[in-house]
C-alpha cells in the first residue's frame, strides 16, 4: 500500500457529538443489571447474530443512522483487557456471546488459530483497534468485519510509536468507514521530544501526514487513553499535560493541566467530556472526584474552572482505611459517560450524573481496560 505524504485537500469530516445518558438506577450497593430496563440500551446487535439478512441490515448506513438518532446513546457491552479478553458488563438476555468478541479466529481447514498476538489499543464507535509487530487490526465484533493495515511509518520501530486511535468517518453511520489516527515521535532530544501525526482513511486507503508537529516541554512522559471531543482527539500525557490533535484545523497543540492538578499519576486523572462538548478532567481527590472544565474567557484565552465535585462514598461501598489497593480511575467510557474505578473490592462502573455504581469484576488487579460500546 502506497503512503501519501501530501496534506489532504479538504478538511477531515467532523465526528458525531455524544449525549451521555444515565445508565442505572441510583443504588448504594451493587445492583443486578438488566440491559432491557435502562434508557438508551438497545439490544440492536443481537439480530446480526441470527442470519446474513440481519447482518446486512445492521450494517446498512441508513438503518444505523436512524437507529442512532432514535437511541442516541449506545449500549456498553463490556470492556476489553489488553490481551483481547472481553469482560461483559450486561446481564442476560442483553449480553452477547463472548465468542462474538474474540479477536482470534479459528481456522478449521488448518486446525489452528489465526490472528493471535494482537494487543488492544482502544475502542470507539463499535470498533476495536489492535496492534501487533506487523500493523493494525480494526475489528467490528457486531458485523465481524476485520481490516488489517500497516503502520504509517512502515515496519514497527518501538521508540518512534506513541499512540493510535480509531474514529468514525462523517456521522458514524457507515460501520465500514473509519479513520485511524497515529501519533509518533519524529525526533528525540535530551530534554524534549518532537511529535507528529498521520491519519489513515479507509475510504482512500492511504496514510496522510498532518501538516504540523509539536515539541513537548519534557521528554519524561507516557500516553494514556484517547478521548474524542468534537473534531479533536485528546491524549493525557502523564507527567506532562494534554495533547490535542485538531483534525479539522490540522494542528497539534499542547495544553497545560489545571494549576492545582497533577497528571504525574495517571491513575488519579482522566480526560472527560463535559457539558457543551468541552474538554474536561476527572480528578480523584479522595473521597471525591473533581470535574474540571476548560472554558474561554473574555480575552479569548482558555482557562481551567472547577466545575463540580462528587463524593464517591455516597454510592460506593465503604472501604477500610488500611487497604491493599488504592482507589484509582481506570478509564472513562466517552460514549456512555461511565467511569471505571478501581477500589478495594475490585473495579466498579460509576455514572456520576445518576450517582449509581455496579461492580463488574473480581479483585484481581488489572491495569489497562478498554470499554466497548455499540449500537
Q: How far is CA 256 from CA 78, 236, 294, in A?
A: 32, 10, 11
231-282 residue pLDDT tens: 999 999 887 889 999 999 899 999 998 888 877 776 889 999 998 889 999 9
What single DSSP character describes residue 2? P
> Do residues 237 and 210 make contact, with C-beta atoms less than 8 angstroms apart?
no
pLDDT tops 80 at residue 20: no
Q: How far is CA 343 from the centre of its chain?
A: 21
pLDDT band per the 50, 70, 90 thresholds, residue 371 = very high
287-305 residue pLDDT tens: 899 999 999 766 667 899 9
Report the DSSP beta bridge partners of residue 87.
Answer: 79
pLDDT band per the 50, 70, 90 thresholds, residue 227 = very high
DSSP assignment of 155-215, as one string?
S--GGGEEEEEEEESTTS--TT-EEEEEEEEEEE-SS-EEEEEEEEETTTTEEEEEEEEEE
**Peptide bond preceding 93 in cis form (omega within 30 of 0):** yes
User: The whole model's pTM is what?
Assistant: 0.80
11: how many CB neighbours lie within 10 A of its CB? 11
CA angle 111, 114, 116 (to 5 degrees): 130
Res 331: pLDDT: 94
Res 156: pLDDT: 65
How much is the CA Rg of the chain, to the nearest whole Å?
20
How far is the C-alpha of 183 from the C-alpha of 279, rounded, in Å? Answer: 20
Res 160: pLDDT: 82
Contacts of 236 (CB under 8 A, 6+ apart): 223, 224, 225, 242, 263, 266, 269, 270, 271
Q: How far is CA 134 from the centre of its chain?
A: 23
Res 82: pLDDT: 93
Res 67: pLDDT: 55
Q: Which three cell numbers stand for residue 290?
A: 473533581
Look-up of cell digits 481496560: 369
In 267-282, which positions are buried (b, 16+ CB within 10 angstroms) versus exposed (e)?
A: ebbbbbbbeeebbbbb
Res 64: pLDDT: 59
Nearest to 22 by CA among 353, 375, 374: 353
156-172 residue pLDDT tens: 665 688 899 999 987 66
Q: Which three cell numbers stand for residue 17?
A: 457529538
pLDDT tops 90 at residue 373: yes
pLDDT tops 80 at residue 336: yes
pLDDT band per the 50, 70, 90 thresholds, residue 318 = confident
How far is the C-alpha of 169 from the C-alpha of 180, rounded, in Å? Answer: 10
Domains of the chain: 46-374 (2.120.10)
**Cα-Cα-Cα-Cα dihedral sign, residues 5, 223, 220, 291:** positive
Nearest to 262 by CA among 285, 294, 235: 285
Res 58: pLDDT: 57
How far is the C-alpha of 77 from the C-alpha of 94, rounded, in Å? Answer: 9
What average pLDDT does the segment 45-53 reach? 51
Res 25: pLDDT: 36
How far is the C-alpha of 271 from the C-alpha of 230, rounded, in Å? Answer: 14
173-196 residue pLDDT tens: 788 899 999 998 888 777 788 899
Amino acid at each position: 500500500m502506497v503512503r501519501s505524504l501530501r496534506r489532504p485537500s479538504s478538511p477531515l469530516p467532523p465526528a458525531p457529538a455524544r449525549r451521555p445518558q444515565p445508565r442505572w438506577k441510583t443504588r448504594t450497593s451493587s445492583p443486578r443489571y438488566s440491559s432491557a430496563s435502562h434508557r438508551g440500551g438497545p439490544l440492536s446487535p443481537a439480530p446480526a447474530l441470527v442470519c446474513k439478512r440481519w447482518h446486512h441490515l445492521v450494517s446498512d448506513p441508513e438503518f444505523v443512522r436512524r437507529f442512532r438518532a432514535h437511541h442516541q446513546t449506545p449500549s456498553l457491552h463490556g470492556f476489553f483487557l489488553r490481551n483481547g479478553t472481553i469482560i461483559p458488563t450486561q446481564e442476560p438476555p442483553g449480553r452477547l456471546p463472548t465468542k462474538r468478541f474474540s479477536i482470534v479466529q479459528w481456522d478449521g481447514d488448518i486446525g489452528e488459530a489465526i490472528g493471535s498476538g494482537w494487543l488492544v489499543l482502544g475502542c470507539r464507535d463499535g470498533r476495536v483497534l489492535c496492534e501487533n509487530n506487523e500493523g493494525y487490526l480494526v475489528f467490528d465484533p457486531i458485523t465481524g468485519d476485520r481490516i488489517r493495515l500497516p503502520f504509517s511509518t512502515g515496519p514497527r520501530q518501538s521508540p518512534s510509536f506513541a499512540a493510535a486511535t480509531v474514529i468514525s468517518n462523517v456521522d458514524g453511520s457507515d460501520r465500514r468507514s473509519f479513520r485511524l489516527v497515529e501519533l509518533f515521535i519524529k525526533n528525540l532530544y535530551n530534554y524534549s521530544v518532537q511529535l507528529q501525526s498521520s491519519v489513515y482513511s479507509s475510504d482512500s486507503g492511504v496514510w496522510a501526514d498532518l501538516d504540523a508537529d509539536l515539541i513537548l516541554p519534557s521528554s519524561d512522559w507516557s500516553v494514556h487513553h484517547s478521548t474524542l471531543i468534537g473534531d479533536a482527539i485528546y491524549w493525557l500525557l502523564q507527567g506532562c499535560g494534554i495533547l490535542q490533535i485538531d483534525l479539522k484545523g490540522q494542528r497539534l497543540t499542547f495544553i497545560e493541566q489545571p494549576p492545582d492538578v497533577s497528571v504525574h499519576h495517571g491513575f488519579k486523572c482522566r480526560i472527560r467530556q463535559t457539558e457543551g462538548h468541552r474538554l474536561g478532567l476527572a480528578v480523584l481527590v479522595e473521597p471525591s472526584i473533581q470535574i474540571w472544565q476548560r472554558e474561554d474567557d473574555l480575552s479569548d484565552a482558555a482557562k481551567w474552572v472547577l466545575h463540580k465535585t462528587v463524593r464517591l462514598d455516597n454510592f460506593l461501598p465503604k472501604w477500610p482505611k488500611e487497604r491493599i489497593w488504592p482507589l484509582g480511575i481506570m478509564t472513562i467510557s466517552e460514549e456512555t459517560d461511565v467511569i471505571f474505578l478501581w477500589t478495594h473490592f475490585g473495579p466498579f462502573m460509576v455514572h456520576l450524573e445518576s450517582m449509581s455504581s455496579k461492580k463488574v469484576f473480581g479483585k484481581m488487579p488489572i491495569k489497562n481496560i478498554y470499554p466497548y460500546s455499540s449500537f
